[in-house]
Chains A and B, each alone.
Chain A
Amino acid sequence: MTQDENKEGIGGMINPRRYGIERVAYLLMRLSGLGLLAYFVAHIYETSNILRGQVGWDDFLALTQTTEGHIGMSIVIAMCVFHTVNGVRVMLGHGGVGVGKPARPDYPYDPASQNYRHKIGIYSAILLAAIAMMYGLAVMFGE
């Protein structure tokens, strides 16, 4: 980003402060999306070990069924749940659902689109992700 354009650059894209929970959700959506894509590619590679037979499969399980592997998996579960729930909220928002109705603006000019419905959606996504993560940890470490 050249000084000439005075663009904030990637620091501006990833800075979630200053603008409320919706901006935080935007950042988490990007991070979870990239994280899930990386996991997906790794998962496709990992599961291809089935072609190496019992020995190849067990070798790879030994790598992933570890404490670190389980913790990583729980993070993936959290990312997946957040990305899904927030994704549904964003999709509905993109269609104009739940963004309020146009009206003559009046002081203090609070934006109707940044309403409690979408905020509840975001907090629900975070809460459900945390619950799913804890459930995942309970299943993986509980055995």
Chain B
Amino acid sequence: MAQVSHIAEEQASSPLSSSKSVTLKISRYNPEHDDVGKFMEFTVPYEKWTTVLEAILEVKKHFDHSVAVRYSCRQATCGSCGMMINGKPRLACFTKISELNSNVITVEPMNNFPVIRDLAVKFERLFDTHQKIKPYLIRDDTELETDEREFLQSPEEVEQYIQFANCIKCGLCNSACPTMATDSSFVGPQALAQAYRYVADSRDKGKDSRLKIIDESHGIWRCHFAGSCSQVCPKGVDPAMGIQFLRGYLLGFRS
């Protein structure tokens, strides 16, 4: 009982006091009820270290608890909190308000993802395209059948793909991609980068089957190296690099 009343007191407390405040414009849209989205503005105090996610949670706590937002780790590891922040796809937990240099912070759901409500979007297309490129090691043999050791890799072999294995499936790259803005059938930079991750892995023997999957009219050839995916990636995966390396196989630059 004492614990419950303590929590109730905490939730009833007033917002953080700070000399600085910013206007947070949050996109509100429920496809089940609304024809069009609208923005709601909230004045939120912030410190030098306050992230956009913290500001949104501050709004939820003290102003409007119905704001729908997806988040989890708060440390740019899970990829849940991707959204448009001042017109660019970013992770809310990884973006400090002070870095944005703006009195107004506009947050909207990520482009090119269907909206569930407010800032939460559906990830089915990303999961489908990711699955399409066979995101697992393809080999004839398997570790379980024999008494042999695990598949060995030298540090140099690991360096070839480890960068692309950092992908947290946040979807920011798909949101930034100019082809994804209009092409519903495009595989997307996330899936293509992951295709390269496996092709570059020395343990994998499925290069030909993956290249065949992406060699189609809405596959790798609809990437035009605009590089926006790499500009927004929060984990340094650099999907554009992986995609061009992958294309190098198809063009004969690599074998």
Contacts and interface: CB of A to CB of B under 8 A. Distances in A.
A7 B244 contact: no
A109 B235 CA distance: 6
A70 interface: no
Contacts of B231: 19-20, 22-23, 111, 114
Given A19-B227, A90-B225, A102-B200, A1 B244 contact: no
Interface stretch (A41-49, A52-60, A75-83, A93-101): A93-101
B178 A102 contact: no
B88 A102 contact: no
A105 B241 contact: no
A142 interface: no
Interface string A4-45: 111111111100011110110110010000000000000000
A112 interface: yes
B184 interface: yes
Contacts of A104: 159, 162-163
Interface of A is mostly: loop
Contacts of A68: none
B160 A111 contact: no
Contacts of B179: 13
Interface residues of A, number: 41
Interface of A: 1, 3-13, 17-20, 22-23, 25-26, 29, 90, 93-97, 99-100, 102-106, 109-114, 118
Interface of B: 31, 87-88, 109-115, 121, 159-164, 166, 176, 178-182, 184, 200, 224-228, 230-238, 240-242, 244-245, 247-248, 251, 253-254
14 contacts: A5-B112, A20-B227, A23-B178, A94-B225, A94-B244, A95-B244, A95-B248, A95-B253, A96-B244, A96-B254, A100-B241, A105-B166, A113-B244, A118-B227
